[in-house]
Amino acid sequence: MLTPLESFYLNQEEPLRGCFMALRDCILKQDEHITAEWKYKLPFFYFKGKMLCYLWIHKKYRQPYIGIVEGNRIAHPDLLQEKRARMKILLIAPERDLPVEKIGQILRAALALY
């Protein structure tokens, strides 16, 4: 029996499935203390028990994104605030190679806040 977290990844259509799975791996590789969990009906990532980021699909752009929990405290030109008070998002183009270095920079900045 699959967990809701496993089902989330496996129930996505390509190229979203591959993109989300690559994002998961990229996030988890940033630090050994990052854990993947199922919270608020979406894939969430915690750092030492504190919410770090999550994965979801932007309703308007229909693109996957990484939501950075403390994004309002990070200045990066590719992070979008939109109407969120605390979080910012990084849109990801699922048909392109992941911007691994950019994701790493943003996540390192987020980890430095904890």
User: What is the residue-level pLDDT of the chain in tens, covering all 114 positions?
Assistant: 999 999 999 999 999 999 999 999 999 999 999 999 999 999 999 999 999 999 999 999 999 999 999 999 999 999 999 998 899 999 999 989 999 999 999 999 999 999
Which are the contacts of 109, defined by CB distance < 8 A and separation ≥ 6? Answer: 74, 76
**What is the structure's pLDDT at 84?**
87
Question: What domains are there in the chain, each with its CATH number?
Answer: 4-111 (3.90.1150.200)
Q: What is the token pair recorded at 62?
A: 């229909």
**What is the structure's pLDDT at 73?**
95
**What is the structure's pLDDT at 13?**
92
In terms of pTM, does the model score above 0.85?
Answer: yes
Beta bridge mates, 53: 45, 68
What is the sign of the dihedral through the CA atoms of 94, 55, 77 and 84? positive
